Structure 1
Amino acid sequence: MARPAKPTNLKIVTGNPGKRGLNKQEPDPDYLNDLTAPGYLSGDAQAVWDQIAPKLRESRLLTVVDVPILAMMCESIAEYRRATIYCKDSPLDHSEKTGGYVLSQWKIVQSMSLKQIMLIAREFGMTPASRTRIQIQPQGELDFGDGQNYFT
């Protein structure tokens, strides 16, 4: 699987080793001011939203177009928590009629939710490794310089 595209801001900060042209028309969505959770979230997911959204906004990582993705992450965290509670109260596997073992449904839900959470968390810079690659610039101050460094 190929690496995801590097944002233009990040190319400017870290350099452009491929010497490809920079995208001067990259979208620049507005930062999110209204932190009200979407109405379709479950109660548990809304509680997660209330914990995460203010911190992402303070870090200038949450824009208007990120709301659905953050909502998915909050719902996945709520699912993960529910599945973890059920896993504590029930065995992790059970015997089949044939004598074999099958993972509990809740263990599968827990595992799938964790994978979704980690994928989305990386996009928002919420893991230690992904935070090292983030460089925040004030909105509207994208500096392309004179272009001399990119063509030599």
Structure 2
Amino acid sequence: MTKGLKPTRLIADSSPVMKVPTAPAHLSRDAKTEWRRVAPILVERCILTIGDLGILESYCSAIGLVREASKHLQTEGLVLENGKRNPAAGIMTTAQTVALRAASELGLTPVARSRSGMSAQADPDDDTDNPLAVR
């Protein structure tokens, strides 16, 4: 099985989000807090489109679950009274994985930001990423 090619430069979408949207009402308090923290960053970078709102919602939901599970683990512990592992640990791990994947898709991780062309405002004639360019 082959992997697809990764884009070298973001292409401006025809439906960019120009104003920070309100967090969906069904999100938890922690998820809404993350939405209010991250959405302005994405709008400012001009990389959030209408099509990306679902990814942003998934990211914020996952972060909300991570925080909720973390709070539960802090009060209840990793091991339950019956000696079994607290299910919140598995929920937190799964939510962390989802959050990391969504964060990467949204350009919210250091690695994602360091990829060539992560800026939507990049000059198409700029060849500074060309290792053969004469400087």
RMSD of aligned Cα (Å): 2.6
Q: What is the alpha-carbon distance in structure 2 between the residues aligned to residue 77 and residue 60 of structure 1?
A: 22
Is the 8 Å Cα contact of residues 80 and 113 (structure 1) preserved in structure 2?
yes
Label 1:43 to 1:118 Cα distance change in 2 as closer, same or farther (>3 A): same
Measured in 1, the distance between the counterparts of 2:46 and 2:32 equals 20
1:130 maps to amino acid: A
1:4 positional shift: 4.5
Structure 2 counterpart of 1:68: 54
Higher RCO (CA 8 Å, separation ≥ 6 residues): 2
1:73-118 Cα shifts (integer Å, max 9, x gaps): 101101100100011111212365xxxx532111111111100011
Aligned to 2:9: 9
**Greater radius of gyration (CA):** 1
Rate the CA distance shift 1:43–1:134 in 2: closer, same or farther, 3 A: farther
Match of 2:87 in 1: 105
**Equivalent residue number for residue 64 of structure 2:** 78
d(CA) in 2 for partners of 1:56 and 1:106? 30
Alignment TM-score, normalising by the size of structure 2: 0.76
Whether 1:88 aligns to 2:74 is: yes
Percent identity (aligned):
29
Q: 1:77 & 1:2 partners in 2: Cα distance?
A: 31
Q: Report how many residues are paired.
A: 123
- The residue type paired with residue 7 of structure 1 is P
Unaligned runs of 5+ in 2: 126-135
Distance 1:39 1:94, change over 3 A: closer
